[in-house]
Chains A and B, each alone.
Chain A
Amino acid sequence: MNARIGGMGWVTPLGCGISEVWQKLLAGEKATLQSITGPQPEQSFAIFRVPAEATKSAPAHPRLRRSSAISRFAAVAGLDALADAGIQLDAASAKRTAIIFAISNGGVIYTKRFYHDIVASGAQAASPLLFPETVFNAPASHLAAILGITGASYTLVGDGAVGLLAMKMAEDLLLDPALDRCLVVAAEEADGLLCDAYLRWRLPITLSEGAGAVLLDRTGSISIDAIDAGGNFSHQSRAAHCIRTIFLRLEASSDDLFITSANGSFIDRAEAASISAFAPRAHTYPIKSALGESVGASALWQVICAVQALKTRRLPGTQEFRARRAVVLACGLNQQAAGLALAR
């Protein structure tokens, strides 16, 4: 049996909650740009930030006392996804639940602070309180502790495609009858250091932050038709070839709608060329135009958008559509690409 989407949670610069964010997107709202300082004097960047009130529902758990913003975003999104599925975990059901966490840049704010102290003042200034929070799997560990999960917990790292690679892993884990569900969570935080890095890398994107959570089980209303874990393109010029291979394997066509990963970089051209070749009449929606590029969290945001489109039969900027399938394409900035097809 195909894995299905049982519940979702969403923390974005447009707010928190599936319904709230979706209604704003349908109304054509876009997140508001905010200024952030860069790592060098008088340097500033414009990014999309999660409003403080969006994480007010974060649990008052000791693990979140000193944690990064990522962990708080993830806790809110993860708990919302379980609530959306009507699940309250107890010791028995937690044993039958796995977590997969997708992340790209990780706890960059704490990592920067920790390393800055070393550079500025030497190793003796390094904080033993900060270091553990710089580890990629710290947010997954906090979420597992909050939920009481004692079995499988994985953190996957990668670029903008990592969310779909995590979905693939969840689908594979659900082959194990000892598991009932897999909570896939992706989260990212934005910082001026990242803005500087992407700019120097000549990737003109608008950074964003937040989290997405998707609960995979065997009973939800939207099924995963196929996940293609894709592959790696050794050069940006090969991205379109990689995307076409994914479309071929997903049997993508104009009958599908597409939630794309266009973000103002080389990805836009590669995606546009591939979609015009495979599905020239399809409805497409580049969600990053409204929410920004949240890197590790972005593919799950796309999945949530695709599920909402299929459920509500609406898509921002589109009056109506008849598609019964939605294709999510995640092409990352660092040479990974993957695709996923959802069916109503």
Chain B
Amino acid sequence: MPEPQTPERHARRVAIVGAGVVSPLGPGWVETAEALRSGRDCISEITAFSVEDCRCKTAGQVPDEWLNGESGPRARRLHRVSRMMIAALREALAQAPDFKPELTVVGTTSGGMSFGEEYYRALQRGGSLRHSPSLIANYTPQKAVMDAQDALGISAPCQVIANACASGTNAIGHAFHCVRSGKYRRVLTGGYDAISELVFVGFDSLRASTPEKCRPFDRSRSGMVLGEGAAVLALENLTDAEARGANILGEIVGYGISTDNHHLTQPDPSGSGARRAMEAALTSAKISADEIDYINAHGTATPFNDAAEGKAIAELFLRTPISSTKAMMGHSLGAAGAIEAVISLIALREEFLPPNINFRESDAELDLNIVANQSRPEKIRTILSNSFGFGGTNASIILRAFET
């Protein structure tokens, strides 16, 4: 690896030079921005497997017709999560065609799990196992990013973070750390996950998912709905990005991580874990809480998460506008942080606050300034994006509009 040669001033600044996204909101930046601006509800009935015995029957799903860009014998073996990742990476590289990463850091929770399910069902039911070698080889969580790199001619080593629902934000945060340290010049980052029966039923068994509408931060919130998708950011040190005339979409300026040892699946009700991650991100960015113009909350709409996160936000910020975009697209787990980073970037560049849809009534326990139901035009400079997950893992990143 080349020794760092970047001047200190710019070694501290990390530019975003490419962004790609596929989610239930749309197959790309333009469609995603339009869905966000109009507050579109993209949750639908599950079609991939039977949910007859589940309480929750809906999710945010990416239509297969958005993922038909690949062809040929190898393409037929790709899991749909690989197709999502290919589409997101293709969009990001279209903005930065000469971007050659030294390292790739992505997040996921279960990758192509449904291929593993298919293999197991065939074993149990005495079905055909003719395709099992392909199912086994392609279900592993790291495969989607490797397939995407392969499809687009990239061969960077891949670090695949599986920190549950914080994975995507952790991946972006670590990629940011790598570039800001001066040790790496270009790092590809992001996250991906596809809905699988095992994970869907898992959240249903915990009664974390809701049979009703997903209503983050609402007084009558009753749980999350799952989602899926992929998002990619191309990060580069600012000196190099400017030198080659890159189109700089924004900057990552801060990252915080904390571990909350309260419980494997529930946050500390005091919100201390969430608060420490946000405080660490502010310290990393060398800014104060009042410089944050908008917070893209983790906001799963589970009673526990929103109470802990809302409490931490209310303590740390003075009624900064916040919303959870998960009500529109569902919670895409390992992809969520990456998709929400791209949503934050869209908000910065297209100058609006994304809405928290399905919001009816404030929770008296949470003193929050919710961007309720409709997007709001607003020129914003700095955004905090949160992701918190099972295992007590908490991550926050701060994005900023690019200013020379």
- What residues make up the interface of A, taking CB atoms closer than 8 Å to B? 39-40, 63, 103-104, 111-112, 114-116, 118-120, 122-124, 126-128, 131-138, 140-142, 144-145, 148-159, 165, 168-169, 172-173, 175-176, 193, 196-198, 200-202, 229-232, 234, 334-336, 338
The total number of A-B Cβ pairs within 8 Å is 188
* Central interface residue in B120, B157, B161, B257, by most chain A CB within 10 Å: B157
Give bound CA distance, A186 to B178, whole Å.
22
CB-defined contacts of A336 to chain B, threshold 8 Å? 142, 146, 157-158
Q: Nearest chain-B residue to A335 (Cβ)? A: B146
Q: Nearest chain-A residue to B117 (Cβ)? A: A115
Instruction: Check B261–A150 contact: CB distance below 8 A.
Output: yes
CB-defined contacts of B94 to chain A, threshold 8 Å? none
- The residues in B between 241 and 278 inclusive whose CB is less than 8 angstroms from any CB of A are 257-261, 264-265, 276
Instruction: Check B181–A172 contact: CB distance below 8 A.
Output: yes
CB-defined contacts of B163 to chain A, threshold 8 Å? 137, 153-155
Instruction: Check B181–A126 contact: CB distance below 8 A.
Output: no
Instruction: Check B261–A148 contact: CB distance below 8 A.
Output: yes
The reply on B177 being an interface residue by CB < 8 A is yes
Instruction: Check A156–B205 contact: CB distance below 8 A.
Output: no
Instruction: Check A153–B265 contact: CB distance below 8 A.
Output: no
Instruction: Check A150–B162 contact: CB distance below 8 A.
Output: no
Name the contact of A232 in the complex, choosing from B146, B197, B207, B260 (C-beta under 8 A).
Answer: B146
Instruction: Check A172–B183 contact: CB distance below 8 A.
Output: yes
- The residues in B between 187 and 234 inclusive whose CB is less than 8 angstroms from any CB of A are 197-198, 201-207
Q: Nearest chain-B residue to A242 (Cβ)? A: B155
Instruction: Check B161–A154 contact: CB distance below 8 A.
Output: yes
Q: Nearest chain-B residue to A176 (Cβ)? A: B177
The reply on B391 being an interface residue by CB < 8 A is yes
| Chain A: minimal CB distance from B187 (Å) | 10
| Chain B: minimal CB distance from A98 (Å) | 9
The reply on B149 being an interface residue by CB < 8 A is yes
Instruction: Check B124–A120 contact: CB distance below 8 A.
Output: yes
Name the contact of A119 in the complex, choosing from B111, B124, B164, B258 (C-beta under 8 A).
Answer: B124
| Chain A: minimal CB distance from B40 (Å) | 29
CB-CB under 8 A for A157 and B198, given A229-B157, A232-B158: no
Give bound CA distance, A63 to B261, whole Å.
10
CB-defined contacts of A118 to chain B, threshold 8 Å? 197-198, 201
Give bound CA distance, A59 to B109, whole Å.
28
Name the contact of A141 in the complex, choosing from B136, B146, B206, B393 (C-beta under 8 A).
Answer: B393
The reply on B123 being an interface residue by CB < 8 A is yes
Interface string of B123-146 (1 = CB under 8 A from A): 111000100110011001111001
Leading 10 A-B pairs by shortest Cβ distance: A141-B391, A229-B157, A136-B162, A123-B53, A131-B202, A145-B261, A126-B205, A137-B391, A128-B205, A122-B53
| Chain B: minimal CB distance from A85 (Å) | 21
12 A-B residue pairs with Cβ-Cβ distance under 8 Å, sorted by A, are A136-B109, A141-B392, A153-B257, A158-B160, A172-B181, A197-B119, A197-B132, A200-B133, A201-B132, A232-B155, A234-B150, A334-B142
Give bound CA distance, A150 to B206, whole Å.
25
| Chain B: minimal CB distance from A261 (Å) | 16
The reply on B298 being an interface residue by CB < 8 A is no
CB-defined contacts of B155 to chain A, threshold 8 Å? 231-232
CB-CB under 8 A for A140 and B391, given A111-B198, A115-B117: yes
CB-CB under 8 A for A197 and B206, given A111-B198, A115-B198, A157-B141: no
Instruction: Check B261–A126 contact: CB distance below 8 A.
Output: no
CB-defined contacts of B146 to chain A, threshold 8 Å? 232, 234, 335-336
Instruction: Check B160–A123 contact: CB distance below 8 A.
Output: no
Instruction: Check A230–B390 contact: CB distance below 8 A.
Output: no
Give bound CA distance, A120 to B124, whole Å.
9
- The residues in B between 147 and 172 inclusive whose CB is less than 8 angstroms from any CB of A are 149-150, 155-164, 170
Instruction: Check A156–B161 contact: CB distance below 8 A.
Output: yes
